[in-house]
Amino acid sequence: MIHCEFHVTRDARQKYSIVDPLFASSDDLPRRNLQVSRDLARKMNEARDLARHPGTAVSAGDLNAMGLINEILHHVVDAYGAEYGSTAISGALDGLTEVFGTERVESALTEYLRHYPLTDVFNGAADETSLLGSQIEGWPGRTRLLEAVVL
């Protein structure tokens, strides 16, 4: 099963050699994410001219907070779905499909994945189309991806 993970641009994945999921849901989320934040901040700061531009420094704490906020928002969406039997996101997906048509919605989600590939897409283990038809943490891939776009 594919898990939710923090979406990172393809360019950033390449520039900072990000081949593993960032801030993915797991039982050891706080401990693991703190180390991931430290490693990514170090890589990002090494690529910057901090001597001339100290204001461009990236804080591991800021990265970690960003990941935790994103994870909390995913849990809010899941809690809403558990309480009301559906998600606002699946309703939004239905509405978008009704207004714009399946082809345009699929195209937009595929384009999003091209620019913000999940780890499996970036590493070539899956393609955008198969991911859209997959299950991501028990939800249809299209729904989880739209959730990522919204969050």
47 neighbors 15 (Cβ within 8 angstroms): yes
Tell me, rounded to whole angstroms, the distance of Cα 50 from its chain centroid: 28
User: Which of 84, 118, 85 is CA-nearest to residue 10?
Assistant: 118
More confident residue, 4 or 111: 111
Q: What pLDDT score was predicted for residue 30?
A: 53
19 neighbors 25 (Cβ within 8 angstroms): no
- Nearest-10 crossing angle of helices 102-115, 141-150: 60
Chain segment 116-142, per-residue pLDDT in tens: 998 888 988 888 888 888 887 777 889
145 neighbors 128 (Cβ within 8 angstroms): no
Phi, psi at residue 2, to the nearest 5°?
Answer: -80, 140
Q: What pLDDT score was predicted for residue 125?
A: 87
Instruction: With cut-offs at 50, 70 and 90, classify the pLDDT of residue 85.
Output: confident
Q: What pLDDT score was predicted for residue 120?
A: 85
Q: Is the predicted pLDDT of residue 1 greater than 60, yes or no? A: no
For residue 26, count CB atoms less than 10 angstroms from its CB and return exposed for 0-12, middle for 13-18, buried for 19 or more. Answer: middle
Work out the angle at residue 76's Cα, subtended by the Cα atoms of residues 150 and 113, and round it to the nearest 5 degrees.
30
Measured CA to CA, the distance from residue 39 to residue 100 in angstroms comes to 41
Q: What pLDDT score was predicted for residue 140?
A: 85
